[in-house]
Amino acid sequence: DAGITQSPRHKVTETGTPVTLRCHQTENHRYMYWYRQDPGHGLRLIHYSYGVKDTDKGEVSDGYSVSRSKTEDFLLTLESATSSQTSVYFCAASLSLDTGELFFGEGSRLTVL
């Protein structure tokens, strides 16, 4: 058990509405990540965090923002959801940025109509 839980696990929303996905971890990992997984594109990094209130962009960060107010929680927000953001979102965590093993949550399936 990687100790990473995501909520909600499934969500259907309409274009233009804000959406927040939550990731909670219990293993005191310093680094946390948000990925999206799409057919034909594989896993792509959206944003990551290297500590409380410390975040940075990944390769597909446009349209997304993140926040980390506590070590255990990492939030991903879509300010105004678009159909292109329909995807499966995965949260991950690791103890270190270089040699650390990466652990994943179960994923959140988001559908934007």
Interface positions with other proteins (CB under 8 A): 2, 31, 42-43, 45, 90, 92, 97-99, 101-107
Whole-angstrom CA distances from 108 to 13, 36, 48, 88 are 13, 9, 17, 6
Residue 87 or 105 with smaller CB distance to other proteins: 105
What is the closest distance, in whole angstroms, from the C-beta atom of residue 16 to other proteins in the complex?
Answer: 28
Residue 102 or 113 with smaller CB distance to other proteins: 102
What is the closest distance, in whole angstroms, from the C-beta atom of residue 2 to other proteins in the complex?
Answer: 8
Residue 17 or 28 with smaller CB distance to other proteins: 28
What is the closest distance, in whole angstroms, from the C-beta atom of residue 59 to other proteins in the complex?
Answer: 8
Residue 35 or 80 with smaller CB distance to other proteins: 35
Strand-pair partners of 32: 49, 93
